[in-house]
Every structure is written in C-alpha cells, then in structure tokens.
Amino acid sequence: MPVLTDPWTLGGRTLQNRLVLAPLAGIGNWFVRLQAKRFGAGLVTSEMVSSFGLAHGNERTVKEFLRIHPDEHPVSIQLFGHDAAVMREAAALTAAAGADLIDLNMGCPVRKVSKTGAGAALLDDPAKAVAIAKAAGEGSNLPVTVKLRPGNKPGDSSGVELAHRLVEDAGVAGITFHPRHASQQHAGTPDYALARELTEALPVPVILSGGLSDEARTLAAFDQSQATAVMLARGSLGNPWRFARLLGRYHGEPSAGEVATELETIIEAAEDHLGRDRAGRYLRKFYPWYADTLGLTRREREALVTAPTTAHARAALAALSGREIAVAA
C-alpha cells in the first residue's frame, strides 16, 4: 500500500510525493503554488487559464497566468476551452512558458465556462473532448492530464466513460477525478468508492479531488479511493501547513507569528505580481483564510478581513505583535 510520501510517475516524470495542489480559479497563481511547493506539495496546478485568452495573445492572460516561478516546478498549467485548434496553440504557448504538464479542465460547472462548451459541458461531448486532449498533447509535447467529474447530473456516468476514452484515444497521462456530479458544484459527499473503481480500471494514475478539507479526511479518502495521489483544494487555503503535516514534516499548529509571516510573504508576492493597488483588492479574499488559521479575536479579525489596502493588512498584522508574535516588518 503506497503512502503519501512515496514517489510516483506521471507521464514519464517522477513526482516526489503524492500531494498535489488543486487548480483554484482566481487563486492558484505562481506565488500560491510556490507556497504549496515550499510546504512540500509534490506537484502544483495553476488556476484555469483560458485557451482563447492565450491563443489570442491577451497580454494580461499571457503575462499573469503563464508566469511560472523557477522554484515551483514541477508545475501543471490548467487550460480550458472548447476548440481543439485553439487548444493546440495555447498548449504550445504554455509549454514555451515552462510548464511541466498540462491539465485540461473538463469538470468546471460554472455557467460562464460550460455555456461555451468548455469545462463540464465536455463530459457530454466525448469526441470533442478527445480532440481537445490530443491537440493539447500535440501542441505542447507535454504529458496531458484531464480533471473531470463522474457526470453532469446524479445518475450520469459520462465522465467515467470519458476518462476511459481520453486514456485510450487521446493518450492522456492521468485523470484527476472529482467524484461529485457537476450539478453538486462543490457541495455534498464525494463518492470515493466510485473513485476506487476508476482507479482500479484505468491503466494511468488517478488523482483524487474533493472533500479533502483536513488531514484526517485526506488520509481516509486516500485509503478509501486507493487513488494514486490526492489533491488539496479548499483545505489548503491559508493553511499550507496541511501539506507539511501530511508528509510528516511538521507537527501541531503553526504559531501566530509563523502564520503572520507567511501572510506577509504572500502580500509581498502579490504586490510584485499585481502592483500595490491591485494586490490590495485581490488579497481581500485571502485574509479570512489566514484569520481562521490565526484564530483571531473578533476585533483582530475585522481589522484584517476588511483591510482595504496592503498597508492596512500589514498594520493589522503588526497590531498582533502585542501578542508577542514575530511579524515581519
């Protein structure tokens, strides 16, 4: 029985352990991925990137979404789209930017994505899904994985059938399986028994996603699904220590000082990436996650989560130094 610290192979590449950072739209940029890597993730995945945005040379898409830090490898860039020719071009650009793998989004239930025929809509269009996966491999010369769900609605098994076709007909290197139907979005109990069936049936690695909100659940799901690897998503937000704990590299809870220093690192990176003003707005969704991990009082929490600028967030963190924690200047 493999354990999370065991290496494994995906598309001919050896990954050092079985913990993967999930694709998280609006979140999984280079510095969030780098953080997961620093805390031990064996593979990190980007937020979904529009193949159309890349292929049409949208400057912000190319500059911001394909920014890869030299220390975050191995990194998989997740692309979405509904057109094979566009995907081929986007995949070539992604490879040129330095990605190690390409992941394709065939599970996103968000209407903005699925109404174009991308994301979970591809579960019901297997011929197009196979063509897109082939094109991504041809355009990039990289291993391609696909993240999908069992189907669009309870009772559907189109995603399971598609997983087989993607392996057989498009030669994909692995499948990430989120065993909740698209109509469930991100709620409800994932079907780990179904994930186990898929893992046993497919000749390629299966990465499990869904419901991995803490260490105990992650270990139980890894065991129940017998998946090759597991993908932390919401559970890792503001709490990269989960990676380190699951790998036996960290024990117990981080001190408030460690959490504050970590958030300071994220603030600095966001300013570097987006400039100070945009970073101030962008980070507002990050603060509640760190406030939870910090275990703040109501007043301390309020100061952090409503910080309108990065200067206010730094001041909120500095105010915690009264509690004798080491906050970076």
Ligand X SMILES: Cc1cc2nc3c(=O)[nH]c(=O)nc-3n(C[C@H](O)[C@H](O)[C@H](O)COP(=O)(O)O)c2cc1C
Quote the CA–CA distance of 329 and 325 in Å, as a whole number: 12
Comparing CB distances to ligand X, the nearer of 105 and 310 is: 105
Q: DSSP letters along 239-260, please? A: -THHHHHHTTS--SPPPHHHHH
| Among the listed residues 147, 242, 245, 301, the single contact to ligand X using CB under 6 A | 147
Which of 17-25, 57-65, 92-100, 272-280 is the region at the interface with ligand X (rule: CB under 6 A)?
A: 17-25
Comparing CB distances to ligand X, the nearer of 236 and 310 is: 236
Quote the CA–CA distance of 212 and 195 in Å, as a whole number: 14
| Among the listed residues 32, 87, 102, 108, the single contact to ligand X using CB under 6 A | 108
Interface mask toward ligand X for 219-258; x: CB under 6 A = --------------xxx-----------------------
| Among the listed residues 22, 131, 246, 267, the single contact to ligand X using CB under 6 A | 22
| Among the listed residues 50, 51, 94, 105, the single contact to ligand X using CB under 6 A | 105
Amino acid at position 249, single letter: R
In the complex, least distance from residue 283 CB atom to ligand X, rounded to whole angstroms: 15
Site for ligand X in 27-66 (CB under 6 A): 47-48
Q: What are phi and psi of 229, to 5 degrees?
A: -150, 165
| Among the listed residues 24, 91, 246, 294, the single contact to ligand X using CB under 6 A | 24
Quote the CA–CA distance of 235 and 19 in Å, as a whole number: 12
Residues serving a catalytic function are 108
Q: If 0-12 CB within 10 Å is exposed, 13-18 middle and 19+ buried, where does residue 256 land? A: buried
Structure tokens of 56?
């049409």
94 binds ligand X (CB under 6 A): no
Quote the CA–CA distance of 170 and 163 in Å, as a whole number: 10
Q: Report helix angle 298-305 to 287-294, nearest 10.
A: 160
Which of 34-42, 101-109, 150-158, 254-262 is the region at the interface with ligand X (rule: CB under 6 A)?
A: 101-109
- Report the alpha-carbon angle 295-300-306, nearest 5: 110
Comparing CB distances to ligand X, the nearer of 108 and 256 is: 108
SS3 call for 144: strand
Number of residues that bind ligand X (CB under 6 A): 21
Quote the CA–CA distance of 209 and 233 in Å, as a whole number: 8
| Among the listed residues 53, 126, 137, 210, the single contact to ligand X using CB under 6 A | 210
Where does this chain bind ligand X (CB under 6 A)? Answer: 22-25, 47-48, 78, 105, 107-108, 147, 178, 186, 209-213, 233-235
